[in-house]
Amino acid sequence: MSDTSGSPPIAVVTGASSGIGAATAERLAGEGFHVFCAARRTERIEELAARIGGAAVTCDVTDAEDVAALAAAAGPRVDVLINNAGGAFGQDKVAASDPEPWRRMYDTNVIGTLLVTQALLPALEAADPGTLINIGSIAGRLAYEGGAGYTAAKHGVAVMTETLRLELNGRPVRVTEIAPGMVRTEEFALVRLGDPSKAEAVYAGVAEPLVADDIADAVVWVATRPPHVNIDLLVVKPLAQAAPHKVHREG
């Protein structure tokens, strides 16, 4: 893939140091994109960028200066932006919740997505069309006990995505949300629960949860549709999962 100048298309992936972000960067590079791998953990993204022939940009998406530096590094044209940085912290019930993890989740998932989108929107328009893909969650579509802080943040991502599509109508930017269900990665459940045994229990008895590459595959499919095709929402769950609270477990 290339633009009319013969240069490769440009992709920016936030949260690229592990999991879905790292897998997405690899898959996009395999499709011919020059990928800017953005995350806070410099050593990890430098290793990834070296492996895939991309570029590493240390970036905390909640920091406006970091985001401005990311936009400057990516340049005047960005064909695909993947807002993947986010995360879940804790499983407290609403009545007993510490508000600080809620603030962290909102800042990372919502404000971070907002700042990166604002900074890179001119470059996406310059791609004509650019493709903006926000990685949401089924938690942005449904509620479940112990998940209110995360579901509130991911509902914010979902509504921001829908609103942006309305506001950009008539301009050359495609806007998509990909909403994964249960994805087994090396860090998500561990970061959320802070205990390896509890993290492992999330997937207990589930024969085939999704893996990061399943979502990366969906990202590449959305990004490579014909220019006139916009995929508004793509919900991706493992066969074993009907809803956040309804998962078939063997044994």
Q: Which residues are identified as catalytic?
A: 150
Dist CA 30 CA 180 (whole Å): 22
* Residue where the block lists tokens 């590079």: 29
Bridge-based pairing state of the strands 241-243 and 246-247? antiparallel
Bridge-based pairing state of the strands 55-58 and 80-83? unpaired
Classify the phi-psi angles of 6: left when phi > 0, otherwise alpha if psi is within -120 to 50, otherwise beta.
left
∠ CA 175-107-244 to the nearest 5 degrees?
A: 70
Q: Which backbone phi and psi does 212 adopt, to 5 degrees?
A: -55, -35
* CB neighbour list of residue 247: distance below 8 Å, 6 or more residues apart: 182, 206, 240, 241
Bridge-based pairing state of the strands 10-14 and 34-39? parallel
